[in-house]
Amino acid sequence: MSGADRSLEFLWLKRSSEFRKEVTPYFGYMAQSGFPLFVSFIVLSSAFGYIKLIRDLPSGFPIALVGTVALLLVLGWSPLRSWLMMPDLVFHMPREAEMGSYMRRSFRRSVMMTSLLVIAVLLLYWPIYRQGEGEAGFWTILVFAAIMRATNLWGAWKERRMAWSGVRRLLRLMRWAANALALAVLLTSAVWQSALFLLLLMGLFKLLYRLPDKHSFPWERLIEEESRTRRSYYLFFGLFIDVPTLPSRTASRAYLAWILKYIPNRHRLTYVYLYAASLVRTEIGGIVLRLTVLFALIVYWFAEDGWLSGWGAAGAYIILLQLVAVQLGGLRHAHRYTVWRHVYPLPDAERTSSLLLVDRWSLAAAALLMWLPAVVMLLVQGLIIPALFVLLAAYAQIWFVRPGRLRHKLAEDAEEE
Amino acid sequence: MSEPILQVAGLTGGYSPRRPVLHDVTFEVRAGEMVGLIGLNGAGKSTTIKHVLGLMKPHQGQVKVDGVTLEDNAERYRSAFAYVPETPVLFDELTVEEHLRLTGMAYNVAEKEFGERQEQLLDEFQMAAKRKAFASHLSKGMKQKVMIMNALLSEPPLYMIDEPFLGLDPLGIRSLLERLVEVKKRGSAILMSSHILSTVEAYCDRFIILHQGRVAAYGTLEEVCQAAGIEARGGALEDAFYKLVTEGSQ
């Protein structure tokens, strides 16, 4: 290996350890918050459900379907940390020809991380699979999974190199579909059939990937992917502590943006308009939305289970609603340092009340959406008291407790400045 | 006539094959000449530069640097130019000196020459006092100076400079222009995009006027004026430009 190669590998190692150093303190803050408790709650309750499930698998349980979905998620997902950033376009692009040794490190990291994940899922799935009629043994499935893991990483790299986004998306979709098919065949058919099918698919994709126009090295794609990964780390840490603000990504979200048109064109609503737009378009809105949908599902499952006569669902709902509320609270940083605060002919006090207004109505909407599916389920089972209690609790929190707290936090922020 | 360092031939391109931003763009930049790339906002200047950098794939046509395309020989293509982006991009965790060292490594500048060039550049751009400063502590103009110093350090056959004067102080602008004249004399080719037409006219040998993704005029001041139908004289570039872009859009 030449000295130049070595220096790029060294750069990779340096960046990787710098990232680790950068995020370590945040894990500390996370540990101090209630998050580990929340995670242990989730882990314990799912472990309980899992053990109950494998001990007494209901007849007609969709064994192959569950395995296909679970393995598909961990086999199709092929992340790649490249640590690349904008200045690399100027300072390292001249060394593109030597970047192979640098990226090899990224691939090695990705293989290790994702393989561990695959093994974990496989170990969890195995006791379920064994109770079905599938023919493949544990080692056979493991070998297939290893081959598919490697092929997916290779395919995802080819996709990253593709010049046109449309073609790239199409091929990614096809890769996921092929994975699903291969897994379904593996879990239901004879081993030789699965092997033949997998080989066929791999051959097909080798041809497919050859067709479209490709970059020799996808600098911009890798830089974008890296910054997205970093942002998601910081969004996560943002749940527990103030984090440095990275330039946020915006999405148009037409399905939410129509709300903006209904904010009347009044002077005193200027900040309401601004905050509503920021919520709809930035990642905070995206996360609140995704969490709402996910949590609605979780609470629905609790309700369907009828656990603790509906109080289980009520408890889970109240805990999960706090998480949505914390996320939404991030909106207060959105225009903390904006120059418009000093330029616009508006009193700064207006900003606080506008933020409270946007916060209140968006949290109320999320809270309602999260509870709606569960409430139907609870009413069907005749569990009226927990259903109503939760609505009252959420109302009290959103209208009476939260505004005071938020005001307090805003005052604290103002003092810091 | 000297050999062309950058050749752009029949280039149609952009991010999406369905919506090309550039249409059939052809020009070249020869050794020892400075070419000004001018156009309104959104005319396709940055897209042209991205194509030359190899960050975008041509829908049609090709780009050659130092006689090769990126596919032919990535190493030769990449090491043949230095690029100064419109907004400075630096590593926050590196000092001014360390950026220069990094560039020296990337372009294989020998140790002895590196030392000499580094000192000269730090001195010339009044950055000697800031040599140990982290990039995150520099003003925008100083960051821009660091970008320019890095480009000059590598002494490549081709310089691609996007809007270099934004944020630079008057002394910085002067140092940059003096150095560009110097590297040009030594045989480097320069492609510079800028909105400051008086400076472009004074320093560039030829001009590419891009309008709505097409080359509206290309050549010396006389040729550009002729294309615009006006008489060539001092300060005529601005008039020619105005005429070409207003008539072109009607």
Query: Least CA distance to A8: which residue of chain B?
Result: B106
Return contacts of A359-363, CB within 8 angstroms, 24+ apart: A359/A328, A359/A329, A359/A331, A359/A332, A359/A402, A359/A403, A359/A406, A360/A398, A360/A399, A360/A402, A360/A403, A362/A279, A362/A288, A362/A328, A363/A324, A363/A325, A363/A328, A363/A398, A363/A402
The confidence band for A361, taking pLDDT boundaries of 50, 70 and 90, is very high
CB B88 within 8 A of CB B146: yes
| Nearest residue to B80 via CA among A94, A46, A35, A56 | A94
The confidence band for A199, taking pLDDT boundaries of 50, 70 and 90, is very high
What number is the average pLDDT over the span B46-71? Answer: 93
**CA distances for B161 relative to A359, B121, B183, angstroms:** 46, 17, 13
CB B145 within 8 A of CB B172: yes
**Overall residue count recorded for chain A in this entry:** 417
What are the structure tokens assigned to B41, written together? 């906002």
Domain B4-80+157-248: CATH superfamily, name plus number: P-loop containing nucleotide triphosphate hydrolases (3.40.50.300)
What number is the average pLDDT over the span A376-398? Answer: 91
Q: CB–CB of B91 and A91 under 8 A? A: yes
What number is the average pLDDT over the span B52-75? Answer: 92
The confidence band for B106, taking pLDDT boundaries of 50, 70 and 90, is confident
The confidence band for A33, taking pLDDT boundaries of 50, 70 and 90, is confident
pLDDT score of A165:
87
Out of B70, B74, B103, closest to residue A91 by CB = B103
Residue B249 has pLDDT above 60, yes or no: no
Out of A18, A94, A219, closest to residue B107 by CB = A94
- Name every residue whose Cβ is closer than 8 Å to that of residue A225 and which is 6 or more positions away in sequence: A80, A82, A160
A213 Cβ under 8 Å from any chain B Cβ: yes
Q: CB–CB of B150 and A91 under 8 A? A: yes
pLDDT score of A242:
66
Q: How far apart are CA A177 and CA A357, in angstroms?
A: 44
- Name every residue whose Cβ is closer than 8 Å to that of residue A281 and which is 6 or more positions away in sequence: A250, A251, A252, A253, A257
A165 Cβ under 8 Å from any chain B Cβ: yes
Residue B143 has pLDDT above 50, yes or no: yes
A2 Cβ under 8 Å from any chain B Cβ: no
pLDDT score of A245:
64
Query: Least CA distance to B161: which residue of chain A?
Result: A90
Q: What is the dihedral of CA A200, A206, A211, A215, to 10 degrees?
A: 160
| Three-state secondary structure of chain B | CCCEEEEEEEEEECCECCECCEEEEEEEEECCCEEEEEECCCCCHHHHHHHHHCCCCCCEEEEEECCECCCCCHHHHHHCEEEECCCCCCCCCCEHHHHHHHHHHHCCCCHHHHHHHHHHHHHHCCCHHHCCCEHHHCCHHHHHHHHHHHHHHHCCCEEEEECCCCCCCHHHHHHHHHHHHHHHHCCCEEEEECCCHHHHHHHCCEEEEEECCEEEEEECHHHHHHHHCCCCCCCHHHHHHHHHHHHHCC
Domain boundaries, chain B: 4-80+157-248, 89-155
Strands B158-162 and B189-193: parallel
What are the structure tokens assigned to A144, written together? 């297939």
Residue B1 has pLDDT above 70, yes or no: no
**Given phi > 0 = left and psi -120 to 50 = alpha, else beta, which region is B14?**
left
CB A311 within 8 A of CB A298: no
Structure ipTM: 0.78
pLDDT for A280-293, tens place per residue? 888 788 888 888 99
CB A226 within 8 A of CB A84: yes
Domain boundaries, chain A: 3-232, 248-416
**B residues 3-22 near A, CB within 8 Å?**
15-17
Residue A172 has pLDDT above 60, yes or no: yes
pLDDT for A121-145, tens place per residue? 999 999 999 988 888 889 999 999 9
pLDDT score of A338:
67
pLDDT score of B91:
87
What number is the average pLDDT over the span A216-241? Answer: 87
Q: CB–CB of B83 and A166 under 8 A? A: no
Residue A1 has pLDDT above 50, yes or no: no
pLDDT score of A274:
84
pLDDT for A90-103, tens place per residue? 999 999 988 999 99
Average pLDDT value for chain B: 91
- pTM for the whole structure: 0.75
CB A314 within 8 A of CB A367: no
User: Looking at A150-159, A258-267, B169-178, which range is the least confident one?
Assistant: A258-267
B171 Cβ under 8 Å from any chain A Cβ: no
pLDDT for A35-66, tens place per residue? 788 788 888 888 888 998 889 888 888 899 98
Q: How far is B45 from chain A (nearest CA, A)?
A: 18
CA atoms within 13 A on the CB side of B11: 32
What number is the average pLDDT over the span B73-93? Answer: 89
CA atoms within 13 A on the CB side of B26: 5
User: Looking at A38-42, A108-112, A117-121, B162-166, which range is the least confident one?
Assistant: A38-42
Residue A343 has pLDDT above 70, yes or no: no
pLDDT score of A39:
83
Residue B126 has pLDDT above 80, yes or no: yes
Residue B79 has pLDDT above 70, yes or no: yes
Query: Least CA distance to A217: which residue of chain B?
Result: B55
Q: Exposed, middle or buried, A248 (CB in 10 Å: 0-12/13-18/19+)?
A: middle
pLDDT for B81-90, tens place per residue? 999 998 899 8
The confidence band for B74, taking pLDDT boundaries of 50, 70 and 90, is confident
Contacts A86 to B, Cβ<8 Å:
89
Query: Least CA distance to A15: which residue of chain B?
Result: B93
Give the end-to-end CA distance of chain B in Å, rounded to a whole number: 37
Give me the percent of chain A exceeding a pLDDT of 90: 48
Residue B53 has pLDDT above 80, yes or no: yes
Contacts A217 to B, Cβ<8 Å:
74
**A residues 75-94 near B, CB within 8 Å?**
85-87, 89-94
| Nearest residue to B7 via CA among B66, B53, B64 | B64
pLDDT for B184-236, tens place per residue? 999 999 999 999 999 999 999 999 999 999 999 999 999 999 999 998 888 89
Query: Least CA distance to A218: which residue of chain B?
Result: B55
Is the model more confident about A248 or about B47?
Answer: B47
Q: How far apart are CA B74 and CA B53, in angstroms?
A: 11
Q: How far apart are CA A242 and CA A164, in angstroms?
A: 37
- Name every residue whose Cβ is closer than 8 Å to that of residue B2 and which is 6 or more positions away in sequence: B30, B31, B32, B33, B187
Count residue pairs from A and B with Cβ separation < 8 A: 62
Is the model more confident about A142 or about A256?
Answer: A142
A217 Cβ under 8 Å from any chain B Cβ: yes
